[in-house]
Amino acid sequence: MTQAAPAQSLTPDPLPGSGAGEHGLGVPQGAALTLGAVLGTGVISLPALAAHEAGPASLVAWLALVLLSVPLAATFAALGARHPDGGGVATYARRAFGAQVATLVGWCFYFAIPLGAPVAAGFAGAYVADSVGGGRQTQLLAAGLLIGTVALMNWHGIRVSGRVQLAIAGTLAVLLLVATAVSLPHARMDNLTPFAPHGWAAAGSAAALLIWAFAGWEVVTSLSSEYRNPARDIGRATAIALVVMGVMYLGVAFATVAVLGEHSGKAPLSDLLVLGFGEPARGVTTVVAVLLSLGAMNAYFAGSARLGAALGRDGSLPAWFARGSTAGEVPRRSLMVVTVGALGTLGAVALTGVPLERTMLLVTGAFSLVYVVGTAAALRLLPHGTWVRRGAAVSFVSTLALLGLTGRYLLPQLVVGLASVAWMTWTGRRTGRSVTPAAPAAADLA
């Protein structure tokens, strides 16, 4: 394989089955981490937010994004299975387009996590505040505690966080199925008309909002090197997560529209369970919200910490970040940066009084950009003539459309992109080496 430059050397592809050894991730833990990253906090409040945006037509946006997830998930699973590495999408971009694109997309994703983590934690905090009272102060305090808890889980390594995630995923699957099942007898078809009260364009706006709910396929690629057998297990774990995610999302979204209609509040899961079990069930949904947030944040902290370490290893961040970049090690320095950044964002939100949800669309712009670059890299790296490469082509076109929907929220990514170019220029001058695009290995083009 041709390297981007001597200063940006790539580690060779691990052999099939290499991963993190016998103590790495298996299919159940991998599926749980993937499901947590994708299912996550989106199911807590987004069904109601999307319904307010587009009415029943929001269900079209949900279905479209579930269908889009099939080729997208398959694309990232194929990349992770063939090139297991903590750099994830940044590694694929490096192989396909060179160090500059890898640095840009790596920075966009890595520095988006500290912006997005307080939002994810804030969704659960809103449920806590709804249950125990205290308003915004309680919400922010709960969010801070969640960030600290997830950081502590990942500080002790992927085995600990993977086991916790498996327990969380099982509990969530049961609770969400119950919430949907007990509420559906209260569904009213009148709530489905008019189907598009705000026009069909509103469904596109709802889709832009819902990107948050479907982000996550890309973060798990940064955990690919932690699997015991990446070539075999990543695809299986992804397939399980994809099926469970589709059933959960579509069920809760339909129940929110058909059961609650225009009366859905900010905590639709609470309202659905209360219909089936009465007011005491409202406390159960607080547990659901906290578990969903823990699951999503756990996967993102685990993946982004490994991404930061890989970027340090490859020269896209200072070498200080590289500690823990080897499979099986804990990237505590990178994890610490993500944690401090998330707490800093939460502190800024608390001081300014800005709604936590305000930063959500800024983060979805970063996710859309990461998807575009990742699927573009897949078109160069995946074998020609295969169904997975055809899926990558579909994903690339679809993610371009999503990027267009979030275009006005890409200003932070523009700033980060300029900073990454400045970093690469400065490091190139310091070392006296230029960065050229890396040519894919022959096996990648086979």
Round to whole Å and give the CA distance between 183 and 278.
11
pLDDT above 90: percentage of residues in the chain: 12
Q: How many domains would you assign to the chain?
A: 1
Q: How far is the C-alpha of 107 from the C-alpha of 133, rounded, in Å?
A: 38
- 312: CB partners within 8 A, 6+ apart: 318, 319, 320, 321, 322, 323, 325, 334
Give the span between the Cα atoms of 202 and 259, in whole angstroms. Answer: 21
Query: Residue 253 class from Cβ within 10 Å (0-12 exposed, 13-18 middle, 19+ buried)?
Result: buried
Q: What local confidence, expressed as pLDDT, does residue 343 receive?
A: 93
pLDDT digits (tens, 9 = 90+) for 297-306: 887 888 888 8
The alpha carbons of the chain give a radius of gyration, in whole angstroms, of: 21
72 vs 249, 355, 356, 374, CA distance in Å?
17, 31, 28, 10
- Residue 157 has a pLDDT of 67
The whole domain housing 76 covers 20-84+113-362
Best CA proximity match to 83, nearest among 173, 172, 16: 16
Is residue 409 domain-resident? no
Gap between the Cα atoms of 359 and 168, Å rounded: 26
Burial 96-116 (b: 16+ CB within 10 A, else e): bbbbbbbbbbbbbbbbbbbbb
Give domain status of residue 9, yes or no: no
Name the more confident of 53 and 377. Answer: 377
Q: Is 355 a residue whose pLDDT tops 50?
A: yes
Point out the least confidently predicted range of 130-139, 173-182, 432-441: 432-441
In-domain check, residue 56: yes
Length in residues, the chain: 446
Q: Which residue has the tokens 């573009």?
A: 376
Q: Assess if residue 422 is contained within a domain.
A: no
Residue 21 confidence (pLDDT): 47
Does residue 92 sit within a domain?
A: no
Is 426 among the domain residues? no
Domain presence at residue 432: no
C-beta of residue 41 within 8 angstroms of C-beta of residue 290? no
More confident residue, 412 or 383: 383
pTM comes to 0.76
Within-domain flag for 373? no
With a cut of 70, say whether residue 218 has pLDDT above it: yes
Q: Residue 445 — pLDDT band, cuts 50, 70, 90?
A: very low
CATH of the domain at 264: 1.20.1740.10
| Residue of 107, 111, 100 lying closest to 424 (CA atoms) | 100
Q: Which residues pair with 77 in a beta bridge?
A: none
pLDDT at 244 over 80: yes
pLDDT digits (tens, 9 = 90+) for 358-395: 667 677 778 888 889 999 999 999 999 899 999 999 98
| Contact indicator for 405, 392 with CB cutoff of 8 Å | no
For residue 263, the model assigns a pLDDT of 66
Q: Let me know: does 65 contact 242? Beta carbons within 8 Å.
A: no
Mean pLDDT for the stretch of residues 118-126: 82
* Res. 435: pLDDT tops 60: no
